[in-house]
């Protein structure tokens, strides 16, 4: 039998096979079924009538009994379906191209939306924002529903401090504080998706969005440690995306964000009736408390554990560095001395292998198998400046906490050869500023010279931290340097051995004293006043406190408050009252002082200790006028610290320490009245003079540095 040609076979198939042509009339449409075939569960050839119905009809005719009424044609019915256009199948390449085009369109729309939101929200803070920040009432959870909050367990005490003293959440997505330049309103994009691989220990997306929002809105350093717009954009990615923030960072932000919202719980305040306010090891008392960890404590533990694990694996090292800084802020705000000391030191030490303490060309000249930095070079200006900001914030935390003890610091200033940060607006915009236009940390004129094009409140904040660090190092190293014969710390004008041992006549002391007294007056004119139009510049306010703290710490070991005419005594009293004036200034505004930097509580407490010393001397000398003035000043300082302690446990702890100090030095009658209502003395002269009539003939110890300035039995104690 001859075979048909291939071409004829193909033509025959194309002409007779109904499946080869989707428009053939005998091909059933989708969802179209012959009723008889469907009832009998037979395969149908889609002819009209179909072959099955034709055979059934023929069989019926051949075997029908006489007189049966049989239709002349077979009955073959089917469901009618509306005509639809049959589109040809789309290949994989076309699908990918269509999806990529759609992604590009969505990304373009997102960028346009972010630019529009930033242009709308990048305005000067108004009095309305300050009135929002000054609110101390109970906070509503705003955009976070109760159901969403319940998706993450919070086992804190129902009487938690933060539940009654938090900024109102309703404004979080539409306002910015005086120190922040970008709202996090656009953070919602991407977090509304329910991610199947969401990290188990993180709160749900809505609660996380809320905590990140309050962190960037209210924490004074958030917009310097992170580039806000970059960080917020990264939250729109899924948890498994390489650009999604490290979970250690998010855990730490959740812990700190708990200070500013009532949506989660924070640890309750310690019972200082049973625990000494200056107790270093609070954790041993925490173990005795029959309560579960609060939300903030849980997140802090997760941040620490995750960071330690990533460090050992060598992954996300810079983000771990950032998370450790945020975690240190959490420990510092809660007055956890051991954790602050260990974590701040860890941050500073970690910055060395990351290469953050130095900048080319000041690397070591020694040849080594290890590179100057174990992390890859920064790819953009923003990434480079973010790393630099992170180093300076780690430095500031370690130095500021170090002012409260007599222990050595963890990184010598001589090992820091880094540029100072750029201005905030340049950081946000990613502007490249060359080293020729900036100042180096090791420059000789760093503290009193401020280039107009490269200065803002944050840079002054870093410079103020460098100043107090230099004072701390001088006090710590003086004895060893004097023993080694360092002429910079020797009083060359002394007539006897004791006077030559007094550092106040040494060149190093005189230089530090001059810098501390001239630091604030060297500020550019537009940065002289930290309070303008009822708006408080948080960084500038803190930087303005630092030279007064430096003066007190520098002169306190040599101050004889009972000796009339003691220059050091006059210096510390003047500095303490300068701090008092700054408290009055911020108190007179509607600004919520609980949002100030944590160092402010240390500065206020330092001023309070000085006033306690002079009050004790006035009581001993029975100077009633001085007692009344000093008592009123001390009560006001205490009330300000108590107010600050309504949100920050560190300040609450300082207030209790001040009460104990007054009880110890001046008696119960004076400490019991600290909570009384009072007003400042109306006599300006009484605020700038030493108590008169003091006679104290015992001059032993005048050259002995008052060794109990940093008594090991009491944190920040002062004689």
Q: Which helix (H) or strand (E) holds 254?
A: helix 247-257
How many CB atoms are located within 10 Å of the residue 646 CB?
17
Say whether both 336 and 474 belong to one domain.
Answer: no
Q: What pairs with residue 532 in β-bridges? A: 535
In contact, 234 and 245? CB cutoff 8 Å? yes
Distance CA 41, CA 38 (A): 5
Domain identity same for 632 and 492? yes
Angstrom distance (rounded) from CA 177 to CA 217: 6
Closest CA to 434 of 454, 448, 410: 454
* Pair (378, 468) in one structural domain: no
Q: Do residues 674 and 545 both lie within one domain? A: yes
φ/ψ of 17, rounded to 5, equals -80, 115
Coarse DSSP helix, strand, coil percentages of the chain, rounded to the nearest 5 percent: 55, 0, 45
Residue 71 forms part of a structural domain: no
Q: How many residues does the chain have?
A: 719
573 and 675 in one domain?
yes
Tell me, yes or no, whether 405 and 475 share the same domain: no
Same domain, 452 and 402: no
CA dihedral angle for residue 531, residue 536, residue 540, residue 542, rounded to 10 degrees? 110
Same domain, residue pair 213 and 161: yes
Give the pair of three-digit tokens for residue 525.
């004119």
Q: How many CB atoms within 10 Å of residue 259?
A: 26
pLDDT given at position 88 = 53
Q: Which positions of the chain have pLDDT values less than 70? A: 1-35, 78-93, 117-194, 492-500, 673, 675-719
Which DSSP symbol is given to 620? H
The answer to whether 156 and 267 have CB atoms below 8 angstroms apart is yes
Task: Report the C-alpha gap between 614 and 625 in whole angstroms.
Answer: 12
Beta carbons of 255 and 205 less than 8 angstroms apart? no
pTM: 0.71
Q: How much is the pLDDT for 667?
A: 86
608 with 231: CB under 8 angstroms?
Answer: no
The two structure tokens encoding residue 701: 């110890």
In total, how many domains does the chain have?
Answer: 3
- The reported pLDDT for the residue numbered 80 is 60
Distance between CA atoms of residues 719 and 711, nearest Å: 9
Does one domain contain both 450 and 396?
A: no
Indicate whether 402 and 508 sit together in one domain: no
- Residue 461 Cα distances to 281, 464, 690, angstroms: 30, 5, 31
- Residue matched to tokens 């005594």: 569
Is residue 608 a part of any domain in this protein?
yes
Rounded distance between C-alpha atoms, residue 566 and residue 690, angstroms: 9
238 and 350 co-located in one domain: yes
Residue 445's pLDDT is: 92
pLDDT at 69: 77
Residue 47 covered by a domain: yes
Same domain for 411 and 448? Answer: no
User: What is the C-alpha to C-alpha distance for residues 275 and 568, in angstroms, rounded to an integer?
Assistant: 34
For the packed helices 381-402 and 337-351, what is the interaxial angle rounded to 10 degrees? 140
Q: Which of 398, 415, 432 is the last residue of a domain?
A: 415
Number of H helices, E strands in the chain: 25, 2
Give the Cα separation of 569 and 699 in Å (integer).
14
* Nearest alpha-carbon partner for 441 in 395, 384, 494, 376: 395
- List phi, psi (to 5°) of 183: -80, 160
Q: What is the pLDDT of residue 175?
A: 36
d(Cα 516, Cα 513) in Å, to the nearest integer?
5
CA–CA dist 216, 177 (Å, integer)? 9
Among residues 335, 333, 310, which one has the least CA distance to residue 321? 310
Q: Is the dihedral of CA 317, 322, 328, 334 positive or negative?
A: negative
Distance CA 311, CA 42 (A): 68
Write the DSSP assignment of 367-412 as a string of letters: --SS-S-SSPPPSSHHHHHHHHHHHHHHHHHHHHHHTTSSSPPSS-
* Cβ(639)–Cβ(655) below 8 Å: no
From residue 595, alpha-carbon distances to 286, 344, 537 in Å are 27, 21, 11
Which residue range forms the structural domain that includes residue 190? Answer: 114-119+133-415
Which of the 8 DSSP states describes residue 34? B
- CA-CA distance, 642 to 664, in Å (whole number)? 19
């Amino acid at each position: 039998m001859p075979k048909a040609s291939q071409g004829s076979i193909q033509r025959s198939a194309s002409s007779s096979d109904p499946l080869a042509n989707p428009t053939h009339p005998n091909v059933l449409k989708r969802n179209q079924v012959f009723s008889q075939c469907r009832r009998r569960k037979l395969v149908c050839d889609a002819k009209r009538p179909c072959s099955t119905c034709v055979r059934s009809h023929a069989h019926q005719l051949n075997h029908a009994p006489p007189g049966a009424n049989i239709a002349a044609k077979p009955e073959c019915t089917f469901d009618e379906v509306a005509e639809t256009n049959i589109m040809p199948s789309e290949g994989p390449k076309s699908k990918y191209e269509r999806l990529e085009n759609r992604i590009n369109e969505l990304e373009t729309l997102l960028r346009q939306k972010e630019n529009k939101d930033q242009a709308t929200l990048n305005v000067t803070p108004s009095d309305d924002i300050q009135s929002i920040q000054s609110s101390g009432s109970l906070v509503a959870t705003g955009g976070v529903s109760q159901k969403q909050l319940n998706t993450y367990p919070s086992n804190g005490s129902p009487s938690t401090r933060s539940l009654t003293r938090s900024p109102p959440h309703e404004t979080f997505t539409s306002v910015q504080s005086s120190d922040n330049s970008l709202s996090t309103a656009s953070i919602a994009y991407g977090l509304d998706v329910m991610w199947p691989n969401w990290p188990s220990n993180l709160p749900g997306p809505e609660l996380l969005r809320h905590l990140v929002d309050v962190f960037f809105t209210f924490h004074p350093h958030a917009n310097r440690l992170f580039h806000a717009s970059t960080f917020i954009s990264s939250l729109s990615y899924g948890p498994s995306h390489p650009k999604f923030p490290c979970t250690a960072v998010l855990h730490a932000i959740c812990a700190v964000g708990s200070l500013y919202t009532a949506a989660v719980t924070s640890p309750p305040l310690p019972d200082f009736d049973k625990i000494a306010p200056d107790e270093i090891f609070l954790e041993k008392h925490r173990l005795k408390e029959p309560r579960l960890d609060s939300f903030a404590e849980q997140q802090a533990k997760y941040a620490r554990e995750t960071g330690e694990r990533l460090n050992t694996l060598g992954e996300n090292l810079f983000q771990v560095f950032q998370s450790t800084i945020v975690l240190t802020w959490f420990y510092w705000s809660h007055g956890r001395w051991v954790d602050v000391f260990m974590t701040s030191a860890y941050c500073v030490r970690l910055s060395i292998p990351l290469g953050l303490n130095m900048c080319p060309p000041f690397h070591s000249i020694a040849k080594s198998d290890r590179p100057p930095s174990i992390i890859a070079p920064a790819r953009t200006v923003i990434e480079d400046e973010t790393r630099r900001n992170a180093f300076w914030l780690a430095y500031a935390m370690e130095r500021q906490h170090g002012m409260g003890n007599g222990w050595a610091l963890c990184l010598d200033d001589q090992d820091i050869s880094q540029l100072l940060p750029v201005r905030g607006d340049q950081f946000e915009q990613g502007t490249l500023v060359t080293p020729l236009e900036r100042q180096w940390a090791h420059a000789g004129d760093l503290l009193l010279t401020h280039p107009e094009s490269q200065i803002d409140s944050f840079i002054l904040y870093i410079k103020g931290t460098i100043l107090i660090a230099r004072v701390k190092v001088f006090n710590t190293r003086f004895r060893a340097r004097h023993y080694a014969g360092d002429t910079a710390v020797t009083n060359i004008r002394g007539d006897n051995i004791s006077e030559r041992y007094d550092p106040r006549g040494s060149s190093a002391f005189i230089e530090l004293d001059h810098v501390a007294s001239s630091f604030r007056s060297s500020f550019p004119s537009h940065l002289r006043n930290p309070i303008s139009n009822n708006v408080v510049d948080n960084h500038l306010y803190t930087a303005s406190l630092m030279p007064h703290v430096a003066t007190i710490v520098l002169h306190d070991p040599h101050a004889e408050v009972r000796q009339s005419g003691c220059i050091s005594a006059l210096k510390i009293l003047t500095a303490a009252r300068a701090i008092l004036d700054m408290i009055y200034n911020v108190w007179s505004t509607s600004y919520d002082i609980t949002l100030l930097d944590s160092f402010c509580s240390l500065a206020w407490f330092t001023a309070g200790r000085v006033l306690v010393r002079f009050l004790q001397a006035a009581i001993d000398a029975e100077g009633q006028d001085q007692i009344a003035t000093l008592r009123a000043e001390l009560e006001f300082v205490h009330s300000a610290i108590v107010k600050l302690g309504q949100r920050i446990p560190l300040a609450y702890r300082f207030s209790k320490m001040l009460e104990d100090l007054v009880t110890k030095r001046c008696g119960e009658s004076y400490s019991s009245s600290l909570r009384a209502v009072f007003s400042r003395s109306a006599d300006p002269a009484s605020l700038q003079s030493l108590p008169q009539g003091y006679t104290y003939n015992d001059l032993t110890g005048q050259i002995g540095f008052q060794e109990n300035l940093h008594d090991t039995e009491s944190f920040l104690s002062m004689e």
